[in-house]
Structure 1
Amino acid sequence: MSGRTDPILVTGTAGFIGHAVAHRLLDRGERVIGVDIVNDYYDPKLKEARLATFQGRNTFAFHRADIADAETMAKIIREEGVRRVVHLAAQAGVRYSLENPFAYERSNLAGHLSIMEACRHAEGFEHLVYASSSSVYGDKPMGGEGFTEDEAAVDPVSLYAATKRACELMSQSYAKLYGFPQTGLRFFTVYGPWGRPDMAYFSFTQKIMRGEAIEVYGEGKMARDFTYIDDIVDGIVGALDHPPEAGGHRVLNIGDSHPVGLMEMIEALEDAVGQKAEKVMRPMQPGDVTATFADVSKLHALTGYQPKVMLREGLQRFAEWYRGYYGPTA
């Protein structure tokens, strides 16, 4: 149990990862201030249902606000006495960035700057942990080793990736200029209960259960480092508890470090759902990368991070949640 009285601000608490992180922090006795704009990038009903799970948790307070509203963010952090922030709110999605680029400018760039400005003016501020993405590595060849944080990450293939890399550089400059510790976490394909409907495993489940064909991009030759939500939360909270020294900034991979081919994932999902999928093979879409593979040795050395849930078990848990939330014939 935490003996602290100052709250932790978690942005994106109506989102997939933010919802899970906030509950974990509450479970260990923290006070949590949640912030989310609850936009309609995907079904707002799912976001509202996530928020409803906080009912009865007396140490949770929620602000429906835009993270790019710098004045509001500064006021919340100042008046609540926030010393630690887990900044997970962002405009997600590689493909959506091709259609709505200015949504990424506001949420990812202006939003990140807004949070940093509020943190640097906060009295006694201790640590900003923020979400980056494995997409910053670009479509690099994957050999036997995972992607490492020391790689240059200078060739993003989507605007989404470019904004996430920009956030890392912004944080690097703010850490040097203003001396407050920051940690950026490069997430690798997070999945599990309460997940995002725009993710492949989620949309595939919907279509398989409805008897609809699924579109398999990259001719099924892509691979992803699927990471279960509980393991991701372990890493986020571990990083939060181990801030860099004053003025320090670092980026850390957070993934499973066991990349799985897309066709293997589909097979595991078919087993979890109990139905076979009709597959329509498609070429790779603009902005996608062939494979992702996390080297998590730095996070492990810092926090003891060790993913525990393998893909088949995680997809079984997701399928069970899906049936419970949407019904057996959704």
Structure 2
Amino acid sequence: MTVLVTGGSGFIGSHVVDKLRESGFDVLVFDIIKPHRNDITFIKGDITSRDQLNNAMKDIEYVYHIAGASDINKVEKQPVNAVDLNILSTAKVLDAARLNDVARVLFASSYFVDSGKGHLYATTKKASEMICSDYNTLYGLPFTILRYGTAYGPRSRGEDVISLFVKRALSGEPLEIHGSGVQSRNFIYVEDLAKGNVAALSQVAKNRTYILEGSRAVTIRELAEIVTRIFDEDIDIRFGSKRPDDYSGDKASDISYKELKWEPETDIQDGIRRYIKWYTENK
């Protein structure tokens, strides 16, 4: 079975590629950056190019569409670019899949979609989900929507709160929290998330939507306390001004567990320890 992964050289995409290879799939990565491994086919391409996408999907059975603008702050600063990358490019991916008779497109969405937060980023993901559904209704193209929680772990961009806390702790700097720290996230270790992506290839996932998150929500204050305990050092925790409309995460849907026969395995403390080990070995 041959699978194409857009954004397969990125943080989450590269781990999805790893788990697909472990499961025996032939994998093609469509990205502007070369992937981290050599036992896959690399197609250098831009998701804004219809021609490149059409050519890349010849003889492809499944497509994971993971590429796009994922940094909420950058989306806010470059809204038109975000719409181009997250909405128009999704339509181009779906159309290329339709023209090449791809069996199914698995779309990487976000739990921000149902949170009422995330602003323009959430809007781009919600619009893309609707386009996936429309392509199924109009053209019979099957889809699976995967709403990711807050991923962390090896190969992260280094801009998420866990990465920032770890870097500050290693430097002996205080951990800075916006507001009181009661805002929460449903963090998920990236390897668990990647396994959930592979589980979604099951036929039961056809035309379904799943939430792939950690087993429980963690407040930012609790997260800071976990990091200080792991380092076992006197690290200050400082509280600053609250960001508007900060999101509080919810527990992942039981449907994801039951239908996909998948659930997150990595406890938040263990996951952070693994990330620290990777970071100190690769920084």
Is TM (by shorter chain) over 0.5? yes
CA distance in 2 between partners of 1:126 and 1:117 (Å): 13
CA deviation string 1:182-218 (max 9, x = no partner): 0111111111122221101001211221223332113
CA deviation string 1:292-325 (max 9, x = no partner): 1133211122121121111011111111101111
TM-score relative to the length of structure 1: 0.81
Q: Is 1:238 equivalent to 2:193 in the alignment?
A: no
The number of residues matched between the two structures is 283
Equivalent in the alignment of 1:61: 41
CA distance in 1 between partners of 2:44 and 2:124 (Å): 23
CA deviation string 1:5-60 (max 9, x = no partner): xx20011112111000101111222111001224xxxxxxxxx6xx33x03x2xx0
Equivalent in the alignment of 2:12: 17
Q: Where do residues 131-150 of structure 1 align in structure 2 (5 Å cutoff)?
A: 131-138=108-115
Check the 8 A contact 1:188/1:294 in 2, yes or no: no
Aligned-pair Cα RMSD in Å? 1.7
Of 230, 233, 238 in structure 2, the residue corresponding to residue 280 of structure 1 is 238
Check the 8 A contact 2:117/2:246 in 1, yes or no: no
Of 251, 257, 272 in structure 2, the residue corresponding to residue 315 of structure 1 is 272
Q: Is 1:98 equivalent to 2:55 in the alignment?
A: no
- Gaps spanning 5+ residues in structure 1: where? 39-47, 139-154
- Counterpart AA for 2:196: G
Check the 8 A contact 1:120/1:178 in 2, yes or no: yes
- Gaps spanning 5+ residues in structure 2: where? none
CA distance in 2 between partners of 1:244 and 1:216 (Å): 38
Q: CA deviation at 1:241?
A: 2.5
Q: Where do residues 151-170 of structure 1 align in structure 2 (5 Å cutoff)?
A: 155-170=116-131
CA distance in 2 between partners of 1:84 and 1:26 (Å): 14
SS at 2:106's partner residue? strand
Kindly tell me: are residues 318 and 244 of structure 1, through their superposed partners in 2, closer, same or farther at Cα, counting changes over 3 Å? closer
Q: Identity over aligned residues, as a percent?
A: 26
CA deviation string 1:57-96 (max 9, x = no partner): 2xx0112221111110011102xx1010111111012222
Q: Is 1:77 equivalent to 2:54 in the alignment?
A: no
CA distance in 2 between partners of 1:209 and 1:314 (Å): 17
Check the 8 A contact 1:272/1:319 in 2, yes or no: no
Equivalent in the alignment of 1:30: 25
- Counterpart AA for 1:29: G
Equivalent in the alignment of 2:249: 292
CA deviation string 1:200-244 (max 9, x = no partner): 100121122122333211321111111111211121111123355
Equivalent in the alignment of 1:266: 224
Of 130, 144, 166 in structure 2, the residue corresponding to residue 183 of structure 1 is 144
Equivalent in the alignment of 1:301: 258
SS at 1:253's partner residue? strand
TM-score relative to the length of structure 2: 0.94
Check the 8 A contact 1:13/1:19 in 2, yes or no: yes
Check the 8 A contact 1:182/1:243 in 2, yes or no: no
CA distance in 2 between partners of 1:132 and 1:11 (Å): 13
CA distance in 2 between partners of 1:105 and 1:262 (Å): 29
Q: Is 1:208 equivalent to 2:169 in the alignment?
A: yes
CA distance in 2 between partners of 1:95 and 1:174 (Å): 30
